[in-house]
Amino acid sequence: MLFSTLAIASLAASVFALPSSQEHFAAAPAAHSDGTDITTYAQYSANWAGAALRGHAGTIKEVTATIKIPTIHRPVDQPDGEYNASIWLGVDGDTCSSASARIGLDVTVNASGVIGQGWYSSNPGRRSYLTGPFNAGDSVKLRVTVNNATSGSLSMLLSDETNGKGASIGLSSSVPLCAQDALWVVEDPERNGALEPLADFTSVLFDTATVTLTTGEKIGPQGARAIEMYQGRAITYVDVQPSSVRITYL
């Protein structure tokens, strides 16, 4: 669930032409508080940080990236306890709010250390967990493939290339997919309607981030809208590059 967002006022320098290989996409305009659309290429969220690439309905076939599980920490000046961060990628769930498909890891730090738990979801809020644990420093490949948007047929992959763990999953969403949003996100997880304490995740890099279009063309995240996390202060800095998305904890 993406909490309500506050749009960042756009700068004149934000107006740019996308490369021809990304002609299907434009940075999605954020919703203004009065319901109108304004042209802006970043927004604030209470619980998401990352990048969102928007296409026309039925445009996106597959979203992939490789991450390194971070060694997360208790934030400075925060009390002892459990702190969390969720790292995932997916299709839909941004401009298309009716359905989503996601796969990723929940990373937790407490008195026992750092542990990662793999999961996937074909509907917001309904996660299925994978056999783990997955460890800090592991290199993990993530992939969501839309086999048929109308029927909701999906394939997902979480492959820990360090220890050989992971799963390849075939499933169906209970509702049709729009196949129009590609997302790479670090999330402050929600439990019982409230945000959990967010860990200091230092930096998360979605490397070799790729979107495969239904035409077969492959593009990167360049031109995606950056989503910055704000919780009374700016929590993150997002850097979107032609083949990667880096989210840095401030």
Q: Is 187 a catalytic residue?
A: yes
| Euclidean distance between CA atoms 178 and 93, whole angstroms | 9
Whether the CB-CB separation of 101 and 90 falls below 8 Å is answered with yes
Q: Catalytic residue among 187, 190, 217, 228, which?
A: 187
Whether the CB-CB separation of 124 and 88 falls below 8 Å is answered with no
Exposure on the CB side of residue 144, measured as CA atoms within 13 A = 28
Give, rounded to a whole angstrom, the gap between the first and last alpha carbons of the chain: 23
| Euclidean distance between CA atoms 55 and 12, whole angstroms | 23
Phi, psi torsion values for 20, nearest 5 degrees: -60, -30
Instruction: Tell me the two tokens of residue 4.
Output: 């309500």
| Euclidean distance between CA atoms 47 and 63, whole angstroms | 21
Strands 60-68 and 203-213: antiparallel
Position 181: which residue type?
A: D
Catalogue the active-site residues.
187
